[in-house]
Amino acid sequence: MIVILLGAPGSGKGSISNYLKEKHGFIHISTGDLFRKTVAQDTPLANKLKQIMLSGKLVDDDTTNEVVRQELLKINNPQAHIIFDGYPRNVNQLEYLNKLTKIDYAIDVQVDKAEIMKRITGRRVCPVCKEIYNIYYKKPKVENTCDKDGSLLTQRNDDQESVVVERYKTYMSLNEPLIKACQDLKIYHTIKNDRLDNAIKQVKDICNLQ
Ligand code: AMP
């Protein structure tokens, strides 16, 4: 089963993906995570990506599509359940993925705009297991420390307010045609993510997961 998650930055795509990975054995492909890994290296590509990501703009489609193609080659299993988080971000990427593999569900994770800033600026991530926390809504038991493996939590550079505003603008400018293209493919569904457990229940209903 191939699921793609659409939705604004901070809509909870990462948390939903983590759940599907842990409880239902999905392979999680997050282009944002893949780019952050690349940025951590000291290469010309890393420096280029860093600039783009800190401007809140998107990495070009050829680079992004190639990264995804490589991930699918590594998995090399037509039966795998895969959740794409943050990809595709525009119609070009959707068309590319749709040629590589059949997409079963596109789930648009909707959250009020007012809520987004608090979610993103409060977000903290475990660099080891990728568990996502929030200093307002989902505090770790010990301040700034991952409950699962004790790692020191980090904040993404692009979760600063000024970058988030740009990321949201980028998302809004591409969202409508992407939704329309998913509707044309008859894979489009929406869910409301007011609370994570509600969102997960809706995802499970759409994908017929027990
Ligand atoms: P995310 O973690 O999905 O919010 O992605 C963080 C940043 O990585 C984005 O603001 C983009 O600069 C870049 N990025 C992630 N996914 C994509 C994508 N599908 N297409 C282009 N750029 C992306």
Which of the four pLDDT bands, split at 50, 70 and 90, describes residue 152? very high
User: The whole model's pTM is what?
Assistant: 0.88
Between 109 and 136, name the one with better pLDDT. 109
pLDDT of residue 42: 85
42 CB-near residues (< 8 Å, 6+ apart):
none
Segment 63-114, tens digit of pLDDT: 999 999 999 999 999 899 999 999 999 999 999 999 999 999 999 999 988 8
Nearest alpha carbon, ligand 1 atom 14: 32
Query: Ligand 1 test: best mutation among 15, 69, 89, most atoms within 8 Å of CB?
Result: 89
Segment 110-130, tens digit of pLDDT: 998 888 988 899 999 999 998
Residue 161 pLDDT > 90: no
The residue from 118, 138, 156, 204 that is catalytic is 156
Q: Is the CB of 53 under 6 A from ligand 1?
A: yes
Query: Ligand 1 test: best mutation among 31, 84, 85, 100, most atoms within 8 Å of CB?
Result: 31
Separation of CA 24 and ligand 1 centre (Å): 25
Quote the mean pLDDT of the chain: 94
What sign does the CA torsion over 197, 202, 205, 208 have?
A: negative
Nearest alpha carbon, ligand 1 atom 19: 87
Ligand 1 atom having least distance to the Cα of 56: 10
pLDDT of residue 114: 83
